[in-house]
A and B are shown apart, each in its own frame.
Chain A
Amino acid sequence: MNHAEQITDATCEIFSSMVMLKVTAKEATKRTKPEFKNSITGMVGLAGTVKGNLLIHLPAPVATSVTTAFLGMDVDCIDDDVCDAVGELANMLAGAVKTALDPSGSDIKLSMPSTVYGESYNLDCLNSGISVLVPFNIEGAEFSVELQLIDG
């Protein structure tokens, strides 16, 4: 299974089972622009035999509707609940990708999740190693999941 497939499988599974929203993967690509506007990014680090990061990038309106579905409560702007929800999504996605990369469960560990959000922020793109980004359609809008890896 290649990384795009790992990301797609993990995202579709988590969104259908835990968020209960249908998502459809688009063609995998690589992020070349660092800028994000009015968005939130959830990140989890991977460490061990491979090192990397799993990131989920959502525009603010997508983040609030995903959080509303995920938590079963109405949110209308990026607040602590949205941050926690996005961090938790990043955590679950990283967990699923980690299992695909390391079925033994002993060679890769995850770091604490974090989220970055704001009207405008730049997140650097990985210069060496592998970087795969899969965009997803969700109810007429879009978010993306990105995996950055280098050999540990």
Chain B
Amino acid sequence: MEFAQIIKSATEEIFASMIFLDLSCAAPLTSEKEDLGCYVTAMIGLSGDLNAILAIHCPAKVGTAIGGAMLGMEIEEVDDDTKDALGEIANMLAGGLKEAFAIKKLDLLLAIPTTISGNAYKISTPSGSNRILLPFEIEAGRFYVDLKYSLS
């Protein structure tokens, strides 16, 4: 299963249909560095035929740009609207993964999104899990879609 391609396609579809910001995708990062310098993260757990966590990590101004584009309004700082919009994107991205899996007759179940924000948080998952970290660029800057998974 080519996860990077599935994530790239799902992200592009969401941006093209609901966000309308120009988006480009760079090669997956191989660094294990946890500190991406991001201010807001929306994440959602998945289970079933894949045990995973999907996250979208953004610096503040990228998060507000995405949230603002999605809601059709100017957003000055990361607020509840920004977090809800990013949570919704995490949910839709997970939905995209689920559809891609369904085509291969594999079943994915989604939990509910959580949003984390602040200047000084780190996120950790069990050692030994696999990771795909995809950087995307919009005019406001870079954000990351991060899939950590283990095969059930």
Contact = CB atoms under 8 A, between A and B. Distances in A.
A80 B150 CA distance: 19
Nearest to A35: B118
Interface in B19-69: 43-48, 51-53
B16 interface: no
Given A87-B124, A112-B125, A148 B47 contact: no
A87 B112 CA distance: 18
A79 to B, nearest CB: 10
A84 interface: yes
16 contacts: A44-B45, A45-B46, A45-B47, A45-B112, A47-B110, A83-B124, A87-B125, A87-B126, A112-B45, A112-B150, A113-B126, A114-B123, A114-B148, A117-B124, A118-B120, A118-B121
Given A109-B109, A111-B53, A121 B45 contact: no
Interface residues of B, number: 34
Given A47-B47, A124-B83, A53 B123 contact: no
A110 interface: yes
A141 interface: no
Contacts of A117: 121-122, 124
B112 A51 contact: yes
Contacts of A112: 45, 47, 51-53, 125-126, 129, 148-150
Interface of B: 43-48, 51-53, 80, 83, 87, 109-112, 114-127, 129, 148-150
Contacts of A148: 112
Given A45-B45, A109-B47, A120 B118 contact: yes
A8 B33 CA distance: 37
Contacts of B149: 112
B109 A47 contact: yes
Residue in B53, B114, B123, B129 with the greatest tally of chain A CB atoms within 10 Å: B114
A121 B116 contact: yes
Interface size bucket, A side?
20 to 34
A15 B150 CA distance: 27
Question: Which 10 pairs, one residue from A and one from B, show the smallest C-beta to C-beta distance?
Answer: A45-B45, A111-B45, A45-B111, A47-B109, A121-B121, A109-B47, A118-B121, A83-B124, A121-B118, A118-B120
Interface in A25-63: 43-48, 51-53
Contacts of B109: 47-48, 109
A51 B44 CA distance: 11
A46 B111 CA distance: 5
A122 B51 CA distance: 25
